[in-house]
Amino acid sequence: MDKARLQGHQKWIKEELDRCVGFWLEHGMDGENGGVYTCLDRKGEIYSTDKSVWMQGRCGWIFSWLCHLYGAKEEWLKASKSCLDFMEAHCINEKAGGRMYFTVTAEGAPLRQRRYYFSEAFYALANAEYYGVTGDKVCLERARRAYDLYWDLAHGMPDPTGLGPKTIPETRTGRAFGTPMIILNVTSTLLRVDPERAALYEERAQTCVDEIFKYHVKPELKCLLENVDVDGTPRLYYTEGRTVNPGHDIEGVWFLLEHAKRTGSTELVGKAAQIFDWAIAAGWDDEYGGLLYFTDCLGKPPEAYEHDMKLWWPHNEILIASLMLYRDTGEEKYLQWFEKTLDYCREHFADPQYGEWYGYLRRDGKPTMPSTKGSTFKGPFHLPRALTMCDKMLDELLADA
C-alpha cells in the first residue's frame, strides 16, 4: 500500500465532496415550497420544476448522513428537514394506504404514482437517519411505518394503489433483484439507529441475503440476474430475462459486505467478491474505459437504448465496493479497480469549473449534450454517499498503514 498515494486520493475526494454538497445547497434547495429540485443543468440552473419523491428521501437522508459522519451543521439539518417536511405534506397518498407518489409538482401536487416501493424505502431511510442524529421519535415512527409497508408489499400484501404488476401475471410474473437489495440497505440503517427492533431487522436482513443468493445469483452464467422467475429460474428467452446491470450488482455487493462485516461472515465476503468480479468483467469497457450500463448474460444485444452509456452512479458503486473489498480481503486487485475507476471519474465525470459530476456520458466518455448535473433520477445521493464512504474507509486504511 502506497500511503502517500492514498492520501492524495483522499484529498481529492474531500475536495469533490465539498464541491458536491455546496452545489446542491446553493442550487437545489427550494426555499419557497420546501424540498429539493434535482433537474439541474451543468451550472445548476433548474430546467424542470417537477420533483422526484425518490430524491426528496435521498436528499433528506444524505444531509442527515453528513451530520452523522462529520457532526451536525445547521445548514445540513435544515436541508434534511426541508425534504422530510415536504414529503410529509405532499408526497404520501393517504387514499392509497400511505403509499407514496413518484413525482409531484414544485408545490407538491401529485403527478405520478408507481407500483414500485422505492419512494417508501427512501422516505424510511431519511426519517431513520434524521432520528439517529436528532432523536426525533416522530421520525422514527415514520421510518418504521414506511419500512414495514415496503416489507409487506414485497412479501405478498395487495397494493393499496390498485396498480397491477408490470406484466399480465397470468402470462408472466417473477422477481426483481432491486426488491431485496434496497430493503437490505434500509435495514442496515435501522439496525444502527433503532436497536429496540434489532432482532426483527437482523431476521429480515438475513432473509434479503438469502433471497439474493437463492433466486438471483447464477454461478452457471457467471452473473447476477436482475429479473428471474418466481422460483429463481433464469428466463433466457427474452431480453429482460437476460439483463445484467453491472453497476446494480456492484452496489448490491457492498450492501452484502456491510452485512458480512456486521455478522462476521467471511464466507459472505467471498461470495460478494465473486459477484463483483463477474460484474466488472461483464461491464468494463476495455476500448473506452468505464462501466457499461447494461449487458446481456449470453452476449446478445441488450434492448435498452442506453445500454452502452456510462452513468455516474455505477462508477460511484465501484468506488465503494472495490475499496471495501480491498479493506476486507487485502487483495491488491480491488485497490487497482478503485484507482482505475477513480482515474476514469476524475477525467470524465468531474467538473472542476462548476462542481458536481456529469450524470450521463456517451460510450466514448463525453457528456451528453446539453450536459446535466441532475434529473428525476440524479440528485444529492450516489455521489456524496460514495465520497463520504470512501473518505471514511481511507481513514481506516491509512490508520492501519
When divided into structural domains, the chain yields a total of 1
**Distance between CA atoms of residues 382 and 102, nearest Å:** 18
Task: Please state the rounded mean pLDDT for residues 194-223.
Answer: 98
Containing H/E element for 296?
A: strand 295-296
Q: Quick one: how many helices (H) and strands (E) in the chain?
A: 12, 13
Its domain, for residue 267, covers 190-350
pLDDT in tens, 335-358: 999 999 999 999 999 999 999 999
User: How many CA atoms, within 13 angstroms, populate the side-chain half-sphere of residue 256?
Assistant: 30
- Cα 115 to its chain centre, rounded Å, is 19
Could you give phi then psi for residue 343, rounded to 5 degrees?
A: -60, -40
Q: How far apart are CA 314 and CA 356, in angstroms?
A: 16
Render pLDDT for 92-117 as a digit per residue (tens, 0 to 9). Answer: 999 999 999 999 999 999 999 999 99
CA distances from residue 331 to 250, 302, 324 in whole angstroms, order as listed: 17, 32, 11
Give the model confidence (pLDDT) of 44-83 as tens digits: 999 999 999 999 999 999 999 999 999 999 999 999 999 9
pLDDT 10s digits, 303-321: 999 999 999 999 999 999 9
Query: 32 in a domain, yes or no?
Result: no
Q: Is 319 helix (H, G, I), strand (E, B) or coil?
A: helix
> Has residue 122 been placed in a domain?
no
Q: CATH code at 245?
A: 1.50.10.10
Strands 217-218 and 99-100: unpaired
320 part of a folded domain = yes
Does residue 393 fall inside a structural domain? no
Residue 292 lies in a domain: yes
- Per-residue confidence at 401, pLDDT binned at 50, 70, 90? confident
Question: What's the start-to-end Cα distance of the chain, in Å?
Answer: 7
**Which run of H or E residues covers position 79?**
helix 74-90
